[in-house]
Amino acid sequence: MLRHMMPAIRATLLIAFLSGLFFPALITVLAQLMFPDQANGSLLRNHKGEVIGSKLIGQNFSRREYFHPRPSAAGSGYAGEASSGTNLGPTSAKLFLGQSDDPASKDIDESFAGVKQLAEKYREENHFSKNEKVPVDAVTRSGSGLDPHISQANALMQARRIAKARSIDLNVITDIIEKHTESRDLGIFGEPRVNVLMLNLALDQLGR
């Protein structure tokens, strides 16, 4: 009986070694040699060497002198362990109204800001009129809730607020946006975009 079991035992141990140890170790070594930045989470550090975030995961910025990200529905916001969108469709009253004073909207979640509230907040923060159109990514949440980018149009609309808060020329801010604009993937997929954390790091390097 043992004579029949030994080949199966040897095969099991060999497969466990190849798939559980050798292959993962090989991929780890190759990743560290060929793509060290991506393999280590695309982490960004400040001048003290402290990790302040990742290029791949958005984070909240609310101060006037910084670019603000798009809204997030991941956990309490940008939570990697709770990555998710809202799963609300374009006909959803909750998606549009969010918190509402309308008696007919009793099912609206008062803790959830809808497109209407987000648009009002965006206009107020950036000193726009009530009729000013706002970028769609400023009032909608991404499918992952972790999107680190905003559209170039969104960044440009925030530029005036930031220039005023930092007491610097508006052209300095627009130049930073232009330098950090990422083009479409392979030249055809997606839209031009900017990484919010990278923009804010560039702002801090101005020393103002």
Domain ranges in the chain are 2-40, 45-204
Assess contact for 72 and 129: CB atoms under 8 A: no
Look at residues 72, 63, 38 and name the one whose alpha carbon lies nearest to residue 200.
63
Whether this prediction's pTM lies above 0.85 is answered by: no
pLDDT digits (tens, 9 = 90+) for 179-201: 999 988 877 888 889 999 999 99
% of the chain residues with pLDDT over 90 = 40
CA distance 50 to 28: 24
- Does 169 have pLDDT greater than 90? yes
